[in-house]
Amino acid sequence: MRRMATVVVLLLTMFATANGETYRFTLEEAIGYGLANSTTIQSKRLAVAAAQADLVAAKAGYYPSVSAVASWTHLFEQPRFGTLYQSGSDPIGASLEVGQSVYTFGKLKNGIKLAEEAVAQAALDLAEENRKTVVLIKNAFYGYLLALEVQAINQETLGSKEDALEVARQRYDAGLVADFEVLRAESDLESFKATVISADNGVAIALLNVRNVLGIEEESFEFELVGELEQIPVQIDREALIQKALSGKYDLQSFRKLLDITEAQNELNRSLRLPTLVAWANYSVKSGVDFDSGENDYSWDAWGFDKGGLTMGLNLSVPISAFFPWSEESAGIKKAQIQAEDRRLQYGALESSIRIAVESSILKIAEEQAKIASGEKSVELAQRLYEAAVEQYESGYISSVELKDAQLGLNGAKLAYAQAIYNYNRNVLDLMDVVGVADF
């Protein structure tokens, strides 16, 4: 389903780009586009294909090897038996040889095991890159939504300040206040415009970040993101999350895979000390000779294909030097044992750090949830306070300074509430990273 959605997104994107339109991405569409457009993911897919090719090469040892040889030799002195020549001065030979490993005492099996582990590691790397890309896109998406929310809040506050300036002018025209009140309201409005400009710039920067994460290089491609800045729904089960992290997090899976690779390499090193039994067969023919004159005869009949030499045999090779303590094989075995022990020690430390990271993320999420609850109440109270201040200002009971305080209080409460929601989402995404998932 995700692959089909990705294809639809890409087709719609091409249509929108060709027609100069602005394409609207939902979160799921942005994820689909980013996964399809990531050069890093494409590189990881190629790495999987390369590892699979290495596996095929490792399995080739189970099949016969066939080689054809052609040779030309120049004899400065032709061998003779009595008055008859035994060979031409420039004989040509051809042979076909077939070899088959009969028993390798684990060399082939261990080599294939090592290649299989490499394929599994490459697949694990690809899955992790997909997961990281999804989380990265979500982070950029919610960052953009926060920038939009900040922009909207500041625009709303700017409108409130424009309304306050209009009220001050009306009261001045009615002779109720001095021109100082108008100047103060006008100064307050102009000062706040810098904040609005910064908010607008924040939206542009957030969109550039999304463009970078999605891998969009075409400057003519216009798009916007569609969504609301709201909490990511998640159920926090501490023990379940810890167990999920310990079983599924990439760091631990990759480390376990590294231990498997080290063990496979160790077994391969040990098997290199063992014999190898190979069966072979060779069929060879050679050009003819005129026995009386010694002239070369390259005609078809002279080759004597029906008289070709067929030989067969078995080769048993034993690498005796591999048993010497100073040999390369002995050193490789010792090194693999040391590496395996070191990695087991590191694995225990990594498990401990992941447990702590899960606990820390859960505490941060709880903290932001409390801030969201408090912020929601603060926005409600600040809104009521601001509405009351507007009524009192219009009636002449308070000055523009007190109205400004109410405006800033409402603005700050809304910004803090939006920031708390974003921080909550960011901590949820951090928890996904810690656990090793793209979604809960």
Indicate the number of domains in the chain.
2
pLDDT for the residue numbered 59 = 92
Residues 152 and 121 in one domain: yes
Residues 163 and 269 in one domain: yes
Where is pLDDT greater, at 271 or 415? 415
Model confidence at 1, in pLDDT bands (50, 70, 90)? very low
Model confidence at 332, in pLDDT bands (50, 70, 90)? confident
Mean pLDDT of 29-57: 94
Residue 22 belongs to a domain: no
Residues 257 and 364 in one domain: yes
The Cα–Cα gap between 393 and 386 comes to 10
Residue 31 belongs to a domain: no
Sign, CA dihedral 391-397-403-409, equals negative
pLDDT for the residue numbered 18 = 46
pLDDT for the residue numbered 305 = 64
Residue 7 belongs to a domain: no
Q: Distances from the Cα of 209 to the Cαs of 141, 203, 239, 245, in angstroms?
A: 9, 10, 35, 29
pLDDT for the residue numbered 106 = 86
Residue-range definition of the domain harbouring residue 292: 64-103+276-317
Residue 330 belongs to a domain: yes
Q: Percent of the chain scored above 70 by pLDDT?
A: 94
Residues 177 and 189 in one domain: yes
Query: Is the pLDDT at 337 greater than 80, yes or no?
Result: no
Residues 249 and 341 in one domain: yes
The Cα–Cα gap between 220 and 23 comes to 12
144-147: long-range contacts, CB 8 A cutoff, minimum separation 24 = 144/203, 144/206, 144/207, 144/209, 144/210, 144/225, 145/225, 145/227, 145/228, 145/229, 145/422, 146/206, 146/229, 146/418, 146/419, 146/421, 146/422, 147/199, 147/202, 147/203, 147/205, 147/206
pLDDT for the residue numbered 279 = 92
Residues 221 and 286 in one domain: no
Could you read off the pLDDT of 282-297 as tens digits, one per residue? 999 888 888 888 888 8
Residues 329 and 402 in one domain: yes
Residue 8's identity, in one-letter code, is: V
Structure tokens at 313: 């045999």
Q: What is the mean pLDDT of the chain?
A: 87
Domain boundary among 317, 350, 372: 317
Residues 83 and 99 in one domain: yes
Could you read off the pLDDT of 356-400 as tens digits, one per residue? 999 999 999 999 999 999 999 999 999 999 999 999 988 888 888
Please, is 329 exposed, middle or buried when counting C-beta atoms within 10 Å of its C-beta (0-12, 13-18, 19+)? middle
Where is pLDDT greater, at 214 or 266? 214
Domain boundary among 298, 317, 336: 317
Structure tokens at 109: 């099996």
Q: Residue 166 sits in a domain of what CATH number?
A: 1.20.1600.10
